[in-house]
Chains A and B, each alone.
Chain A
Amino acid sequence: DIQMTQSPSSLSASVGDRVTITCRASQSISSYLNWYQHKPGKAPKVLIYAASSLQSGVPSRFSGSGSGTDFTLTISSLQPEDFATYFCQQSYSTPTWTFGQGTKVEIK
């Protein structure tokens, strides 16, 4: 199975900060990488698919980049509603859709 490794596992940031989360695949997955936001008690929500495509309705402060094994999710200016846990997911090797372990973004 393809392993997905996210870093950091958590971070503290202030409103307005630029935040970067990385995700590394154990083998090349081309651009088959998705990013999700998950808040406690809520349904996870897709932010970015195909490494860099912004899902409809998602604010433009979210962006994704990368291909092969290394990927990045960037929040250009952190907003109060962005405090959540973020997961990457590979969709290259199905049906085993592996996720990263998550990055919890907390208020500094």
Chain B
Amino acid sequence: EVQLVESGGGLVQPGGSLRLSCAASGFTFSTYWMHWVRQAPAKGLVWVSRVNSDGTSTNYADSVKGRFTISRDNAKNTLYLQMNSLRAEDTAVYYCARLTCSSTSCYFDPWGQGTLVTVSS
């Protein structure tokens, strides 16, 4: 079964750091681009970051650029999101997602169930 499982969320003070992990199974992780998406309470989904299949290319939303770092360990089938200088507005459920492409389009499938990050004093 193709599966993504996030971990590492929790309560952190403003200005603090947290590292999220996303364990992949059931597919050849090293051949897929991976993404992080977040959802703040009662808000919509917002794309956060992506990394290419070998980890050499990354992109970030403006709201997290310079504070968050996406990376991957293909030997461990794991995706990471290092979050530094956290702010209250970073409070959200964070999802990892695999980029899947057909002949006509790309989309996120599957997604993990998410891990909650709460930034509060």
Other-chain contact of A49, B59, B105, B113 (Cβ < 8 Å): B105
Q: Is the CB of A98 within 8 A of B111?
A: no
- Contact yes or no, B107 A44, CB < 8 A: no
A18 proximal to B (CB < 8 A): no
**B95 on interface, CB distance cutoff 8 Å:** yes
Indicate the size class of the contact surface on chain B. 20 to 34
| Interchain CB contact (< 8 A) of B44 among A50, A87, A97 | A87
Which residue from A50, A98, A102 sits with its C-beta under 8 Å from B102?
Answer: A50
**B interface, by DSSP: helix, strand, loop or mixed?**
strand
A55 touches B109 (CB 8 A): yes
From B8-16, B45-53, B77-85, the one touching the partner chain is B45-53
Which residues does chain A contribute within 8 Å of B61, judged by CB atoms? 96
* A100–B106 alpha-carbon span in the complex (Å): 17
Interface contact A41-B47, CB-CB below 8 Å: no
A45: interface (CB < 8 Å): yes
Chain B residue, CB-CB nearest to A38 = B45
Minimum CB–CB distance from B111 to chain A (whole Å) comes to: 4
* Chain A binding surface SS class: loop
B46 touches A99 (CB 8 A): yes
Given A99-B44, A99-B45, is A44 in contact with B104 using a C-beta cutoff of 8 Å?
no
Query: Given the complex, which residues of B lie within 8 Å of A87, measured CB to CB?
Result: 44-45
B104 to A46, Cβ gap below 8 A?
Answer: no
Q: In the complex, which of the residues A41, A53, A96 contacts B104, with contact meaning CB atoms closer than 8 Å?
A: A53
The answer, among A31, A34, A42, A96, for a CB contact under 8 Å with B107, is A34
Q: A43-B95, A50-B104, A95-B50 are contacts. A100–B44 as well, Cβ < 8 Å?
A: yes
Alpha-carbon distance A32/B105, docked complex (angstroms): 6
Are A46 and B107 in contact, with the CB atoms below 8 A? yes
Report Cα–Cα, A44/B93, bound state, in Å: 12
Residues of A within 8 A of B59 (CB): 95
| List of 6 A-B pairs having minimum Cβ-Cβ separation, nearest first | A50-B105, A95-B59, A43-B111, A101-B44, A99-B45, A97-B47
Identify the B interface with A (CB < 8 A): 4, 35, 37, 43-47, 50, 59, 61, 95, 97, 102, 104-114
